[in-house]
Chains A and B, each alone.
Chain A
Amino acid sequence: MARDIYEPSEIPSAPDGGPADIAIGDLEGFTGKGRTLRADAFRRLRKNKLAVAGLIWIIIVVLIAITADLWAPYWLGDPVEIDTTQVAEQSLQPPSLDHPFGTDKLGRDIASRVVYGARVSLMVGVLAVAIMVAIGLITGAIAAYYGGIWDGLIMRTADVFFAFPYILFAVTLIAVLGKGFQNVFIAIGVLGWPSIARVFRSSILGIKKNEYVDAARAMGASTYRILSRHIMPNSIAPIIVYATMTVGGAILGEAALSFLGMGVQPPDPSWGLMLSDARAYMFTAPWLMIYPGLAILTTVLAFVLLGDGLRDALDVKLKE
């Protein structure tokens, strides 16, 4: 078996504190360390600089979003409080020390709104993907494992979802459910499951053919056990990759829906909503558009890069 050689100092210990570092002597011509697959994957991920950059940026955005209440209102100003003075001297100020990203026409600090917008974006991204994955995994697993009529029914339903233009479908759904933050992620999640189901289905179909699935059945494992213990862990890698990238997609979806006025409602801050508000001032006050736009760009890109890195890191075939 081909193995790459590395210094012992490079070996990450097992995340579970397990026996990753037990040195084994030469047994049947084999020398190596008992490492976990997760440790292996993490080691490969660390080699991918772009993926690491993406991961770091995501961590930064998450930290900013979580800690926003502790500093943003005091340093930058309240994200929703409007300058109601007659002169409105806070309105449309260019970036300065007081307002690093400038202010919008209602005198609200753009930086503060971008920081709070991160909360909305991340929440929508994660919750929408959670919904997609939950529906997609169950339907995909049923389609692949039971096949036949279930496969046909689920996959044709997925095709119906694919047949409609995404944004149009989302707008229609929100029109039915009602506007607002909660319905945005529900709509994005409900519309996104067919992709996950497809990816998971094809992944399971590949794994199902493996002899260890037969071996598990021969061992007397129940269908549930085979699915959850033997098929799931082996077919989940593409889902992790796809879900990571889709978080970026969901953030973009929220921005688009908010831009169209179907998502987060004013005065709550959302990157898409800020872009929508900035349209009128594109040339007179470009900072209104640049900063939320950059926030969307970098965050979505970070998730895509991380997903890309994960794809390489989780691909066992590359290792062999």
Chain B
Amino acid sequence: MPPVLEVDDLHMHFFTRDGVVKAVDGVTFTLQAGETLGVVGESGSGKSVTALSIMRLVPEPPGKVVSGDIRFKGQSILAMEEKEQRALRGNRIAMIFQDPMTSLNPVYRIGKQIAEPLRVHKDMSKADAWAAAVKLLDQVGIPQAEERARHYPHEFSGGMRQRAMIAMALACGPDILIADEPTTALDVTIQAQILELMVEIQKNTDSAIIMITHDLGVVADMADHILVMYGGKPVEYGRADEVFYGPLHPYTWGLLESLPRHDVDDKGALCPIKGQPPSLITLPSGCAFHPRCAYAQSTCKSKVPPLVEIADGHLSSCHFAGDPQFVAQFTDGACYVGEDAPGGRS
């Protein structure tokens, strides 16, 4: 059986007045049923556009898939008619948006909104869809679901709205659930609940999840694989434990180091990555990360590093990822911008 989703060297570019924005530039990954992929990166790293490309929700123009392919169960989504794509959306591939405060329609009762995908895709009667919606609300942990279904979004709290959004995404029992920063807009305590809910759902339904986040902590417990993106390009891909415990790219290491941790007796300050994410119109030459990289050499400025397999199933796009001594620095516990590091403290 083919994997539930294959993204093959996807290039999604935006043709704007100011120039070509290479929002997604050569992303490749496969997703098996029941698996969770964490897509991690800063704002503007192309992670959301990757998700929207899979949903075929990128407005075209200005967006355009320049090359590459997206296959759902072996079938190219890009080659499909709009009608076939629509039949997938919300049915086989569902999406949860970032801000639950704005992603529910204020004029409809919650139950009606959850019932909508069932009405659209499963051709259910109003009464059946409503009953199913109430059941879904109950499943995502909304108390008194029957009464709550009759409420309007403004009567729900943020966490409850995100639960309602999840219920809506789950309605048709999708094969793939794409969650675009589903917890960013929520309180920390609620965040944990929502993540727990998603893990539980996955256990019960065997859907694959693509979890997009800028917070490695969010995907730490959930993801089977991690894809780290920078400037529209994948910089590291591998099994979650490998990426966490043996990062092969300085950027990944920088992300890990900038996480607050309770389990390590820390020396004090966090180690943020210096500088800002690059503009996608004028990417730095060579390796896009080199201006911010503490280990950058002259090759990094001139040569674009390819994404290569370093260990079994663990890919990195750092020129020096193959050098064990170089990589060892990442895991020795030193601060990324520590005084000993070549970049020095600024």
Q: Which residues does A use to contact B, with CB under 8 Å?
A: 1, 18-19, 22, 24-25, 27-30, 32, 34-37, 210-212, 214-222, 225, 229-230, 233-234, 316, 320
Contacts and interface: CB of A to CB of B under 8 A. Distances in A.
Nearest to A28: B157
B151 A34 contact: yes
Given A28-B160, A218-B90, A22 B150 contact: yes
Given A218-B55, A218-B57, 5 more contacts: A30-B155, A30-B156, A30-B157, A218-B97, A233-B108
Interface in B69-109: 86-91, 94-95, 97-99, 102-108
**In the complex, which range does the number of interface residues on chain B fall in?**
35 or more
B104 A215 contact: yes
B131 to A, nearest CB: 15
A211 B155 contact: no
26 contacts: A19-B147, A22-B147, A24-B144, A24-B147, A24-B151, A27-B160, A34-B147, A34-B152, A211-B97, A211-B103, A212-B104, A212-B106, A214-B103, A215-B104, A218-B57, A218-B90, A218-B94, A218-B97, A219-B89, A219-B90, A220-B86, A220-B88, A220-B89, A221-B90, A221-B116, A234-B106
Interface of B: 55, 57, 86-91, 94-95, 97-99, 102-108, 116-117, 120-121, 143-144, 147-148, 150-152, 154-157, 159-160, 165, 168
Contacts of A234: 105-107
Contacts, number: 97
Given A30-B155, A220-B88, A234-B107, A214 B121 contact: no
Contact of A34 (B155, B160, B165): B155
B154 A1 contact: yes
B87 A220 contact: yes
B93 to A, nearest CB: 9
A320 B106 CA distance: 13
B91 A212 contact: no
A230 B150 contact: no
A37 B152 contact: yes
B104 A221 contact: no
B165 A215 contact: yes
